[in-house]
A and B are shown apart, each in its own frame.
Chain A
Amino acid sequence: MNYLELLRALLPETALVVGALLALTFDLSFGVRQSRETRLHAAVIIGTLAVVAAMFGALSAGVADAVFGGVLVLDELTLASRLGVLMLAWLTLTLTGGTARLRHPAEFVAIVLFATAGFTLMAAAQQLLVAFLALELASLSLYILAGFDKSRPESAEAALKYFLFGGMSAAFLLFGFSLIYGLTGSIELPQIAHQLARQGQSPLLSLALVMVLVAFGFKAAAAPFHLWAPDVYEGAPVVSSALIASASKLAGFTLFVRLLWPGFGPAAGSVATAAGSPGWLPLVACLSAASLLLGNFAALAQSNVRRLLAYSAIAHAGVMLLGVIVAGDAGLGPLFYYVFTYGLATIGAFAVIAVVERAGCCQKITDLAGLHRRSPLLAGCFAVYLLSLAGIPPLAGFFGKFTVFAAALNLGGLAGPAGWLALLAIALSAVALYYYLVMLKQALVVAPADPASAPVPVPADAAIVLVFTALLLVLLGLFPSVVLRIF
């Protein structure tokens, strides 16, 4: 037992938690007489410093094997995922400073930091107990963030739905974990993999895997466990939605891909050929197909921007699950690249919504009409995000889709479900392009409903987020190997 080693591996979490406590203390001691604006900016500055310190912590923790008897693992995936999560959290915090009007600014920033600590711990966890607790640390923070806006009943509804679904899925996950522990006698992933390889398939193992996948489906917002997503994306404060849609996704996929491949890899089965073999891969393929179909077709019927983004998130979860399927063969590069660039584009889209909502109401797609006149910066960045989500070259979204589909087709060609899923996803990309273009048409072509409508003011903080994410999406699209070479 080497506690110093543990502390070194947990430097990012320590920085984030200390930052959260500092933000609270500072607000309680100096913020009492200040205006809400000043308190928000003070909290955001402390939070940003904590996130930057956590980035340095993650870099200095470096790459090592199992830490503290296998509780944590610091491999390339941990490092990349931690840095990605921290960057997305930084963008969320900056956006909070620019657009949010909160009644408890310091508490909001503190809970965002706690959630980020949960995400970074999820990225490193290698033991079922720590994995579950990290997941709960993040989830509990996100429930609170979803219900933070007490002046809107939709926010409370979103928080309640998210909490009830989340609690249910946590119960499933814990039941699955306890069955796995009962089968293998260990809560550490390497030993579990060793035991599973020795034991082979059994009904109890299938039951455990189904339960773990239910929780995975909830975290990824994959159909049929997606019911919370539209209400949460629509009802929660915009910055909370941005965090839930981006950093939480990245951390969740990192955790579950680590559970599934290195942990339950011997029980994976196969989807490369039509006959396949039983395991969790066929189940993930079913989830993926259901998400692709439901997400893309349900998005067509939406008139609310945030609900549309939620259904498109479900469709993207389908592609990400395909990325999980190919991770065993093609490595983690395609999946990580896809989820990270998806997070960037989503956070950008939510930044646009946040700025527009700040200037007036924006719930319907038609409210975006004439955005190119009212704010060229917003309209231009919005085009970059949506085209990246739709997968138009040379943006990052195109390359993400391309690598995932290529890897899926490499698995077994068109002989098995993996290839069929890739074909389905390619076909449904055309459907997705339609609803993204409907939004873009409103923003870029349609004239404003009221010709004299005032320009939308863009706060400096929000402008940083917009320009940074748009630039990064273009650069990562041009040089994808920067990320792919990490793995």
Chain B
Amino acid sequence: MAQILFYAFALFTLACAVGVVVNKNAVNAAMCLLLSLVGVAGLFVQLDAYLLAFLLLLVYAGAVVALFLFIVMLLDMKDTAAHGFRKISGFASVFALGLLVTGVSTFVVRGRLTTPNPNLAAAVGTDLKHYAYQLFTTYLLPVQVIGFLLLIAMLGVIVLSKRWEGLDDIK
């Protein structure tokens, strides 16, 4: 049963990911991305990582993809959709596919993909309380740094997007 579920979710994720690339309509591509993320969340649930699955749905499928859709609709990207693929991108994709096939076949032929010892990874725990405790003790510094990262992003948005009346006032 678990095997079937895994393959079902994996196939679903991959199919939706292909849909993101192939779709010429940007809105449809964003929706495919959303479904692909739902598939990944399903895989996480199978690994008993409920919190991760929930966060993935909430943050990525919920907030980030919604932002994508906003931007796609704001920009009204109809013109770019009509162009399709050019010759050079065709060559590039064939080249990339060749590299990918070579890489994967090397793995299959030479690889001894040992599963790492699961005991190695210190279990942070799947429950929210344990997770939050770790976040504000062991990983306190990264959380602080991310806070400043957001501050910088905000400053950058203000500086780069603020409209100015006289553009040559400092020249």
Q: When chains A and B are docked, how far (Å) is the Cα of A136 from the Cα of B150? A: 11
The answer to whether A104 touches B159 (Cβ under 8 A) is yes
A147 within 8 A of B: yes
Interface window among B1-9, B47-55, B65-73, B160-168: B160-168
Q: When chains A and B are docked, how far (Å) is the Cα of A340 from the Cα of B137? A: 36
Interface contacts (Cβ under 8 Å), in number, total 92
A62 within 8 A of B: no
- Chain A residues within an 8 Å CB radius of B114: 202
The answer to whether B120 touches A129 (Cβ under 8 A) is no
Contacts A117-B148, A137-B149, A202-B112 known; A1 to B120 CB distance under 8 Å?
no
- Chain A residues within an 8 Å CB radius of B148: 17, 114, 117, 137
The answer to whether A1 touches B164 (Cβ under 8 A) is no
| Number of chain A residues close to chain B: CB under 8 A | 46
Is chain A's interface secondary structure helix, strand, loop, or mixed overall?
A: helix
A451 within 8 A of B: no
The answer to whether B160 touches A144 (Cβ under 8 A) is yes
The answer to whether B110 touches A203 (Cβ under 8 A) is yes
B145 within 8 A of A: yes
| Best-buried of B117, B119, B139, B149 by chain A (most CB within 10 Å) | B149
Q: When chains A and B are docked, how far (Å) is the Cα of A141 from the Cα of B153? A: 8
**B121: min CB distance to chain A, Å:** 4
Quick one: which of A104, A121, A133 contacts B146, CB cutoff 8 A?
A133
The answer to whether B138 touches A144 (Cβ under 8 A) is no
Q: When chains A and B are docked, how far (Å) is the Cα of A133 from the Cα of B170? A: 35
The answer to whether B152 touches A114 (Cβ under 8 A) is yes
- Chain B residues within an 8 Å CB radius of A181: 121
With CB as the reference atom, state the residue of chain A lying closest to B151: A114
Give residues of chain A (163-196) contacting chain B, Cβ–Cβ below 8 Å. 181-186, 195
- Chain B residues within an 8 Å CB radius of A111: 152, 155-156, 159
Contacts A185-B116, A185-B120 known; A147 to B145 CB distance under 8 Å?
no
Give residues of chain A (101-116) contacting chain B, Cβ–Cβ below 8 Å. 101-104, 107, 110-111, 114
Quick one: which of A129, A140, A150 contacts B142, CB cutoff 8 A?
A129
Contacts A129-B139, A151-B170 known; A195 to B155 CB distance under 8 Å?
no
Binding site for A on B (CB under 8 A): 103, 106-107, 110-114, 116-117, 119-122, 137-142, 145-146, 148-149, 151-153, 155-156, 158-160, 164, 167-168, 170-171
14 contacts between A and B (CB under 8 A): A71-B141, A102-B170, A103-B170, A107-B159, A111-B152, A111-B155, A133-B146, A137-B145, A137-B148, A151-B167, A185-B121, A185-B122, A186-B120, A195-B120
